[in-house]
């Protein structure tokens, strides 16, 4: 039984990191997404390889593709160049980095100008950052960009017991203050919200607190929320599942809470579809249900549910 959750305990449960190349992003994607102005635009997402985040959240598995040492100066611009040479042209770029863009050990300040020059043809730039790493570096970098700027931050949950147990080391007030700081700089803000974080014991409780967290984020001033079904596989989350402290979400739960969040009509809401099949128990209707969620992501409208009666005959064995 884990009695205290901290960095050392979380690291003890981890499997090994993946091998990465400091001169290449570990992944890059081209997709479409509705933007803050309501327009559907093409987006290039580059997952940068850099120093691991200093905040070791219990649910995080992004550390797998990070460095143990500070990112060398020049590596991040080379990674962006590498990806952009292989991606189609787009109007929006997301620089996601398994941590914090304004952590100087992850993204060296000396690279800001080179990075901004590489982004000069993009209308909108999105980066991710921890709510506690908010300061003057953000306005410095924003001033170098030619387009609009957005910062995505993990709120995860506002549940009063779960939030401190995640080891993210933030409070609701930290998040609200960070959003206010960014908004004062005319920076758009997006929040990441977890469905089924560890330590919640029922389907109803998980749905309730996911929706409450979405509402809180919008009330704090964010323009968009991304709902992320919590995944196992990082070591400590597998332990929590074994002892009954983590209930992996089901696809139908994600569908329900996503639809409820869209109906709030408080801002943009997106549903994370990465590795979605692992949350489904029905292989007959899975593709249709995935397409439904894709449509809702692109239209920001709730569309009719998929009618399926194959639960007893079409179940997926995730151990295959």
Q: What is the mean pLDDT of residues 125-148?
A: 96
Mean pLDDT confidence for 210-239: 97
Mean pLDDT of 73-102: 97
> What percent of the chain is modeled with pLDDT above 70?
96
Average pLDDT rounded to a whole number, residues 160-189? 97
For range 68-90, the mean pLDDT = 98
Whether 267 has a pLDDT exceeding 90, the answer reads: yes
Question: Which of 237, 234, 216 shows the shortest CA–CA distance to 225?
Answer: 216
5 — pLDDT class (breaks 50, 70, 90) = confident
Q: What is the pLDDT, as a whole number, of residue 253?
A: 96
Average the pLDDT over each of 2-6, 7-11, 84-88, 314-318 and give the range with the smallest value.
314-318
Selection from 177, 137, 138, 170 nearest residue 154 by Cα:
170
Q: What is the pLDDT of residue 283?
A: 86
> What is d(CA 112, CA 67) in angstroms, rounded to the nearest whole number?
19
In this predicted structure, what is the pLDDT of residue 311?
44
Q: What is the mean pLDDT of residues 50-72?
A: 96
pLDDT at 319: 39
Cα dist from 305 to 196, 203, 249, 285, whole Å: 21, 19, 18, 11
Q: Which of 139, 227, 220 is nearest to 187 (CA)?
A: 139
The answer on pLDDT for 320 being more than 50 is no
What is the reported pLDDT for 2? 72
Q: What is the mean pLDDT of residues 299-309?
A: 92
**What is the mean pLDDT of the segment spanning 228-244?**
96
Domains and CATH numbers, the chain: 7-299 (3.20.20.70)
- pLDDT at residue 196 in the model: 98
pLDDT of 122 reads: 98
């Amino acid at each position: 039984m884990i009695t205290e959750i901290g960095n050392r305990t979380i690291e003890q449960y981890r499997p090994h990191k993946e091998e990465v190349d400091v001169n290449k992003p570990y992944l890059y994607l081209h997709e479409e997404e509705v933007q803050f102005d309501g327009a559907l635009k093409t987006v290039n997402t580059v997952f940068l390889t850099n120093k691991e985040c200093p905040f070791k959240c219990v649910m995080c598995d992004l550390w797998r593709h990070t460095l143990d040492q500070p990112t060398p100066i020049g590596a991040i611009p080379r990674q962006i160049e590498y990806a952009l040479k292989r991606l189609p042209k787009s109007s929006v770029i997301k620089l996601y980095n398994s941590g914090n863009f304004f952590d100087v050990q992850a993204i060296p300040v000396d690279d800001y100008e080179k990075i901004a020059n590489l982004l000069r043809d993009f209308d909108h730039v999105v980066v991710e950052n921890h709510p506690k790493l908010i300061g003057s570096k953000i306005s410095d970098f924003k001033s170098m960009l030619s387009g609009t700027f957005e910062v995505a931050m993990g709120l995860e949950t506002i549940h009063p017991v779960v939030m401190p147990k995640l080891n993210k080391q933030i409070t609701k007030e930290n998040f609200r203050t960070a959003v206010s700081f960014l908004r004062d700089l005319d920076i758009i803000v997006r929040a990441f919200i977890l469905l089924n974080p560890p330590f919640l014991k029922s389907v109803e409780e998980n749905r309730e607190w996911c929706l409450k967290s979405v509402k809180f984020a919008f009330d704090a001033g964010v323009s968009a929320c991304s709902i992320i079904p919590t995944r196992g596989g990082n070591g400590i989350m597998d332990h929590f599942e074994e002892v009954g402290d983590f209930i992996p979400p089901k696809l139908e739960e994600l569908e329900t809470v996503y639809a409820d969040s869209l109906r709030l009509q408080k801002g943009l809401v997106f549903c994370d579809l990465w590795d979605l099949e692992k949350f489904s128990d029905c292989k007959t209707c899975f593709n249709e249900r995935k397409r439904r969620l894709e449509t809702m992501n692109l239209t920001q409208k709730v569309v009719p549910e998929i009618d399926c009666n194959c639960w007893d005959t079409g179940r997926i064995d995730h151990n295959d």
